[in-house]
Structure 1
Amino acid sequence: MPALPRVPLRVKRPALRATLAVPILALLAACGGGAGQAAQGLAPDAALPAKVPSGTQLIVGDPQTKVALQLSGQIDEFSFAVEWANISGGPQTTEAFRAGALDVGAVAEIPPIHATWTGLPVKIVASRYRKDPIGHPTYEIGIAPGTGITTLAGLRGKRIAYSPGQAQGALVLRVLKKAGLTRNDVKLVELPSTGDVYPNALASKQVDAAPLGGVLIKRYLAKFGHEGATTLKHGIRDDPAHLYVRAVTLQDPAKAAAVKEYVAAWAKAWRWVYEHPDEWIAGYYVKDQGLSAADGRYLVDAAGEPDVPGDWSDAIARHQETIELLAADTGNEVINAKDLYDLRYQSVGADALKEGA
């Protein structure tokens, strides 16, 4: 079957929806820096300031951590003002960055790569993984009823849901590589990975396979298992969770210091989530997300224990492999994964956990 066209260097960006927690003009004004804006930018290799100046503000798109900070009682402990934006995922975060309407975003490993490829310099300032990434995968490969697919090699010649620029899309390419296949051996069907799009595409036989994550795995099997729906474990590490910022944000000494403080609080918040599963289920999954307690328990059990490493060497090496895989598939240049990370923040999260132990 013919291959899909390659992803162009300049991807088409969706219009920024009205998802910000405050009006866009207010956000733009807030990102201007105010008292925290220094006349001379902070050099990329300069030490991070130890103290956040009075009047500093960060606009943060990290809804899950916001709830974790609320539930753990940490949300009022910042030494600076935090404006929360209801933004998540790579496309929305990158669009908000381009609008100058966001300082910090929470994503997986693919958005920083695509932001760089499309001319938006960004830096990763925090990284979280799972201590048992294979035993607690983020995704499984959903299999449509009646396809007869029982192994990854069985994907040959099949239609697979594919979302370029997102973690699910990169996972599909990794799965094909592990199975000894290329995109020319399958038919990649470009579909957005939001909501129930993938489960519905599987159930309606629009695709034969699709990566499913979180509670969608449980719901898909519960709803369509009697018809023959199944999932496959892929055995590939798929657990990165990052905080990233525009590179220009870190040129402001005040914001760079505030980001450091936020990273420390972020690490503590996710340790709290792991240590208080019942409070997290009730406060986030049930109250905030509207899920059942059973679904919340399923997600907590699937998440496993978080790992916030103080050394990013292995993470950068894995990220480099992802970059090279995507570059070969899309025709974009191979970039240096290390350049995506600001190593001044490398130990901030781990050090915060040690101090709080």
Structure 2
Amino acid sequence: MFPPALRAGRGRPRRTAVLTVMSTFFAVLALAACGSDADSAGSADAPTTAVTSYPTTIPANTTLRVGDQNQLKATLDLAGQSTGTPYKVDWSTFASGPLLLEAFRASAVDIGVVADTPPVIAAASGQDLAVIAAWNNPPGQLALTTKPGSPIRSVADLKGKKVAITTGTILQAYLLRSLDSVGLEQKDVSIVNLAITDISAALARGDADAGVTVEPLSTAYLQANPTAHKIDGADASPMVQYLITTRRVLSDPAKQAALGDFIQRWMKAVDWRDSHTEEYIDKYYVEQLKVPVSTAKVLVGTGVPSTFVPIDATSISGAQKLADLFYSSGVLPKKVDISKVFDARYNSAVKEAQK
């Protein structure tokens, strides 16, 4: 699945169930207009750190502060991976990605989950952030959809058209990747910046020619507007998520060891979730979030299974391409070396958990 949080905004009460589901869906940021210390993009041949292992001895008084967005704890609990930890877990819940990143800036949390946009901003702003584990989710949670009755069929047809997104989020990244696949840039379209929950309504009114919509809102919009449709050729790359920490946390041997254990527990919990989808839907979405089964099935059906990947040249180069797209779109004033926020030391933990 594709978790953490969305800044929901001012949703009406009748939309509470959908917004609650979506709050488990996103780990996105509002981008600040910030500069970078890097003059140009560096090589992504390898993570900047040469460390490839970590301490495994966890002192008895160790505490790991986990920043959650309604996804980590619930999944770990249901999978039975939250019990018996050789360290204390101090949970904090955040309503959005930006709030979680602020907690990292304040050194209030040690680990959390984000999508692929925050590391780009961290690299640009010089924030102390380190990506320590990565995984891919299948595409399907996002879609480029048209207004009703639109003749637009392909991404190339978007040139010169109004496209609704939420700037500074994964929706913008999705659009940039889609445009890039046909040789277009953001400047080739007219951006309509809206809250994520307002895009479908704007399309229905004809305020934009197309927009990036998210599940379960995509399905609901297309059902309510049968002459609207998905656009062919939109980004079909995996949806990337990261476990992140900071260099400051990684300087503490006890925290390092606890992080290694946490990563393995999280991987096992994700594996359980992906192989027990019906139970996960019933116990999490229906019982805990009070979300209709049909809505939950849309999200789970487009978001599993997850595939953990090592921190290496391949994963970093994908992140670098996104950073370069944000630069070419004018969101970032300078190119950034994204490899500076990746750390490969827990590749061994990922490999061990996969056995």
- TM-score category (smaller protein): 0.7 to 0.9
Paired AA for residue 202 in structure 1: L
Aligned-partner SS, 2:296: helix
Q: Which residue of 2 aligns with 1:271?
A: 271
- Pairs within 5 Å for 1:41-60: 45=51, 47-60=53-66
Q: Which residue of 1 aligns with 2:287?
A: 287
Answering whether residue 34 of structure 2 is matched by residue 9 of structure 1, we say yes
Contact kept? 1:308, 1:350, Cα under 8 Å: no
Taking the aligned partners of 1:202 and 1:10, their CA distance within structure 2 comes to 34
Q: Which moved more, 1:216-225 or 1:255-264?
A: 216-225
Taking the aligned partners of 2:95 and 2:349, their CA distance within structure 1 comes to 23
For residues 214-261 of structure 1, what are the alpha-carbon distances to aligned partners after superposition, in whole Å with 9 as ceiling and x for unaligned? 312222212223xx2222251431410111112211111111111111
Per-residue deviation, 1:337 = 2.7
Taking the aligned partners of 2:304 and 2:52, their CA distance within structure 1 comes to 36
Per-residue deviation, 1:8 = 2.5
Q: Which has the higher contact order (CA 8 A, sep 6+)?
A: 2
Taking the aligned partners of 1:304 and 1:99, their CA distance within structure 2 comes to 33
Give percent identity, aligned residues only: 29
Answering whether residue 206 of structure 2 is matched by residue 199 of structure 1, we say no
- Pairs within 5 Å for 1:259-338: 259-310=259-310, 312-330=312-330, 331-338=332-339
Q: Which residue of 2 aligns with 1:254?
A: 254
Taking the aligned partners of 2:296 and 2:274, their CA distance within structure 1 comes to 13
Cα gap change, 1:284 to 1:208, in 2 (>3 Å):
farther
Taking the aligned partners of 1:351 and 1:313, their CA distance within structure 2 comes to 20
Cα gap change, 1:297 to 1:90, in 2 (>3 Å):
same
| TM-score normalised by L of structure 2 | 0.80
Taking the aligned partners of 2:35 and 2:335, their CA distance within structure 1 comes to 15
Match 1:155 to one of 155, 158, 162 = 158
Q: Which moved more, 1:234-243 or 1:258-267?
A: 234-243
Per-residue deviation, 1:329 = 1.9
For residues 282-325 of structure 1, what are the alpha-carbon distances to aligned partners after superposition, in whole Å with 9 as ceiling and x for unaligned? 12222233321122222222123221124633211211111111
Q: Which residue of 1 aligns with 2:229?
A: 230
Paired AA for residue 120 in structure 1: Q
Q: Structure 1 runs of 4+ off > 6 angstroms? A: none
Taking the aligned partners of 1:44 and 1:88, their CA distance within structure 2 comes to 35
Aligned-partner SS, 1:219: helix
Paired AA for residue 345 in structure 2: R
Match 2:190 to one of 187, 197, 200 = 187
Taking the aligned partners of 2:184 and 2:78, their CA distance within structure 1 comes to 45
Cα gap change, 1:7 to 1:54, in 2 (>3 Å):
closer
For residues 141-194 of structure 1, what are the alpha-carbon distances to aligned partners after superposition, in whole Å with 9 as ceiling and x for unaligned? 12111332111111112111233332111111111222332223211122233x
Answering whether residue 112 of structure 2 is matched by residue 105 of structure 1, we say yes
Aligned-partner SS, 2:309: coil
Aligned-partner SS, 1:262: helix
Gaps of 5+ in 2: 1-30, 37-48
* Alignment size in residue pairs: 310
- Pairs within 5 Å for 1:100-179: 100-130=107-137, 133=138, 136-179=139-182
Cα gap change, 1:77 to 1:144, in 2 (>3 Å):
farther
- Pairs within 5 Å for 1:87-106: 87=94, 89-106=96-113
Aligned-partner SS, 1:140: strand
Per-residue deviation, 1:89 = 4.6
- Pairs within 5 Å for 1:18-37: none
Per-residue deviation, 1:94 = 1.1
Per-residue deviation, 1:100 = 2.3
Contact kept? 1:159, 1:207, Cα under 8 Å: yes
Aligned-partner SS, 2:33: coil
Per-residue deviation, 1:44 = 7.5
Taking the aligned partners of 1:238 and 1:211, their CA distance within structure 2 comes to 16
Cα gap change, 1:295 to 1:184, in 2 (>3 Å):
same
Taking the aligned partners of 2:249 and 2:207, their CA distance within structure 1 comes to 43
Contact kept? 1:71, 1:279, Cα under 8 Å: no
Paired AA for residue 130 in structure 2: K
For residues 5-53 of structure 1, what are the alpha-carbon distances to aligned partners after superposition, in whole Å with 9 as ceiling and x for unaligned? x973269xxxxxxxxxxxxxxxxxxxxxxxxxxxxxxx98484211111
Gaps of 5+ in 1: 1-5, 12-42
Cα gap change, 1:251 to 1:88, in 2 (>3 Å):
farther
Paired AA for residue 91 in structure 2: W
Contact kept? 2:129, 2:244, Cα under 8 Å: yes
| TM-score normalised by L of structure 1 | 0.80
Contact kept? 1:58, 1:255, Cα under 8 Å: yes
